[in-house]
Structure 1
Amino acid sequence: MRLFALKGTEALGASIAAALGHPPDAHEERDFEDGEHKARPLVSVRGQAVYVVHALDGMAGASANDKLVKLLFFIAACRENGASSVTAIVPYLAYARKDRQTKSRDPVTTRYVAQLFEAVGTDCLITLEVHNFAAFQNAFRCRTLHLESRQLFVPVIRRRADGLPVTVFSPDGGGVKRAQLLKEALESEIGTEVGFGFMEKRRSRGVVSGDLFAGDVEDRVVFIVDDMISTGGTILRAASACRERGAKRVFALAAHGLFRAGIEPFVDSPDLEGVVVTDTVAAAGQQAGRFPGNMLEVVSCGPMIAETIRRLETGEPLSGLLGMED
């Protein structure tokens, strides 16, 4: 087995490697003056099962496009040099938000990205908490494994709730299923009923609307769950609505802490007591200083990804990690 972590995902790669007990294998990455780049393994991959870790979030000096192309080329190089299989571990999958046509002549980028991975010979793609799970599953023809963040968040909720009644809340209709599954996982863990709620949200040409609010939040600890936090506007809108309806405390949970420009109102809002994200992208840890006190908590998905790799290597069932029943 070979494990590579490309530039920008080294910290998560180290976490996976430590949990797996397999140090990252050596590779080279070079950037050229004209913007081109190359990456190659520095160890033999012939006959090996190769795992390549790379999150596709844009960052300073490397756009999502740059990182996607580098990953694709690296996968192709491994196949070119005799790897028996190549698994792409893409904890944050770029272009997953545009999964259907909503305007005339819209692209369907989720499907296009899937075709690119398939074209270079990817055998399996592992990701965490995609924007639209059904669209993701239907876009790919190679094997895919979708890891769930709820097993990482349940212990956090138990600790943060401090024995008070809890409501799990979706900030929009698209995340209702994600919130319901977290609610069920939490109820199974603590053995008591957990509240549920959601807000209506419609976005057209950059304008957000929708006033429908469902769920009991009064005198409860509310955990608003989403797949990502970019500028935080969607979650902040829901947090304010929950506070107006008497929520005692409000926390935000998201797998991907992107924390883009414009995050300041989210960070400074008195409506949010805490924010919990995973380390799928480097920004989650790098931006911690922008949050006051202990407002931001980052939980690692490295051990969960490592366990997925271990089970793939040993042939053990994956259903528990994927949030599925046997």
Structure 2
Amino acid sequence: MIYEEKTIETIPVGPLGLIPLKSCDELGEKVNQYLIAWRHERESEHKSTIAFAGYQRDSYIIQAQTPRFGSGEGKGSIEESVRGDDLYFMVDVCNYSLTYSLCGIVNHMSPDDHFQDLKRVIAAAAGKARRINVIMPFLYESRQHKRSGRESLDCASALQELTSMGVENIITFDAHDPRVQNAIPLKGFETVQPIYQFIKYLLKEETDLDIDSDHMMVISPDEGGMKRAIYFANVLGLDMGMFYKRRDYTTVVDGRNPIVAHEFLGTDVEGKDVLIIDDMISSGESMLDVAKELKRRKARKVFICATFGLFTNGLNKFDEYYRNGLIDRILTTNLVYQTPELLSRPYYINVDMSKYIALIIDNLNHDASLSDLLNPTKRINRLLDAYRKNRE
């Protein structure tokens, strides 16, 4: 069944309200367009009842502002009534393209600034909403998810802070470590994998792939991403390999121990297409080292798939590796800010997640199960069958 055409079996929790913060403007508008289209097309005998008041709208976006004073301090405001609404706040904490003035100096917004703005707008709802949900694709402080010695536990603290403000559900994508949800065991927390979308967009662009264990392989660039790669490999019916990072623990550079070498564990990759799977590309150093090692082992094509493409050190190194034939494609999602330069690269594939987010919101608003959405195995199998049939 196509999810957007499903019949209505439950009444909505409340009128749907979508509040994308400025960091999520473009993604929020795409999600809004899907919701408008589905709900205008959807038929139900109950839609004229009072329980479905406000079900069909020209827009579900509720305008919110987060202006700053000259001192750099901010405030949040919501431009219309949200009493009784089922609200979905969307925020991209990685959107560094936004700026604000601090005593006449232009500052780029950091993840801390975005998180504070999210709390301000939630506070502006003043407890009047029926339910508050947060869609935060890149989980704030998710890289600081565990404590080593005398360190802060920022991600756990942030989750507790949100739930103390009345947030009932937190939807994130590919959390660095999903166990951080133990900090809020009585609240809804979903970490979503975009595996189906990666395969869908890769198969759109690459028409000559043989998706079987003789011709393709899934690679985890480190031991931390093993679970992700195992799931990906099992769904596609492929073999899996792994690199582990040998580090110099006597030295600290930029807050971490430098990598000495990448050691490979797995079967022969010669002549195979390989998918390197990870949650994010930060500087990209690890991914590029792994790609180089795979090409040295005579892999045919190298595809890099990462949910979040941050590219903190720019794109020059990726351009160089593409020119030298060390990488063939890079796939990242539009869940975080993408620079115009990135979108213009010939090797880059932009994986649009707006439809998936709209489906999640639509189901949550009806208090419907997310199980089928979170487990994409059936959809992936249909996609692979259609791809193979087109190649015959």
Q: Which TM-score applies when normalising by structure 1?
A: 0.90
Structural mapping, 1:51-130, within 5 Å = 51-60=88-97, 61=99, 62-78=109-125, 80-102=126-148, 104-130=149-175
Q: CA deviation at 1:211?
A: 3.8
Structure 1, unaligned runs of 5 or more: 188-193
| Alignment: residue pair count | 313
Match of 1:219 among 266, 271, 286: 271
2:81 alignment partner in structure 1: 44
Give every structure 1 segment of 4 or more consecutive aligned residues whose post-TM-superposition deviation is greater than 6 Å.
Answer: none
Quick one: distance in 2 between partners of 1:71 and 1:110?
15
Q: Aligned to 1:82, what secondary structure does the other structure show?
A: coil
Q: Aligned to 2:198, what secondary structure does the other structure show?
A: helix
Pairing 1:3–2:54 present: no
Q: Which TM-score applies when normalising by structure 2?
A: 0.75
Structure 2, unaligned runs of 5 or more: 1-15, 37-58, 100-108, 378-392
Structural mapping, 1:1-326, within 5 Å = 1-21=16-36, 22-60=59-97, 61=99, 62-78=109-125, 80-102=126-148, 104-133=149-178, 135-141=179-185, 142-159=187-204, 160=206, 162-164=208-210, 165-187=215-237, 194-202=238-246, 204=249, 205=252, 206=256, 207-215=258-266, 216-269=268-321, 270=324, 271-282=326-337, 284-288=338-342, 291=345, 294-323=346-375
Q: Aligned to 1:247, what secondary structure does the other structure show?
A: coil
Offset from partner CA, 1:60-83 (integer Å, 9 cap, x none)? 4211110000101211222x1500
Offset from partner CA, 1:178-209 (integer Å, 9 cap, x none)? 1111122223xxxxxx1211100255523113
Quick one: distance in 1 between partners of 2:86 and 2:365?
9
Quick one: distance in 1 between partners of 2:111 and 2:341?
18
Quick one: distance in 2 between partners of 1:136 and 1:69?
20
% identical equivalent positions: 28
Q: Aligned to 2:139, what secondary structure does the other structure show?
A: coil
What is the aligned-residue RMSD (CA, Å)?
1.9
Offset from partner CA, 1:139-196 (integer Å, 9 cap, x none)? 3332112111111112234443723321111100000111111122223xxxxxx121
2:384 alignment partner in structure 1: none
Give 1 or 2 for the bigger CA radius of gyration. 2
The letter for the 1-side match of 2:145 is: D
Quick one: distance in 2 between partners of 1:259 and 1:290?
14
Change (3 A) 1:186 1:18: farther
Q: Aligned to 1:315, what secondary structure does the other structure show?
A: coil
Change (3 A) 1:124 1:287: farther
The letter for the 1-side match of 2:147 is: Q
Quick one: distance in 2 between partners of 1:75 and 1:323?
30
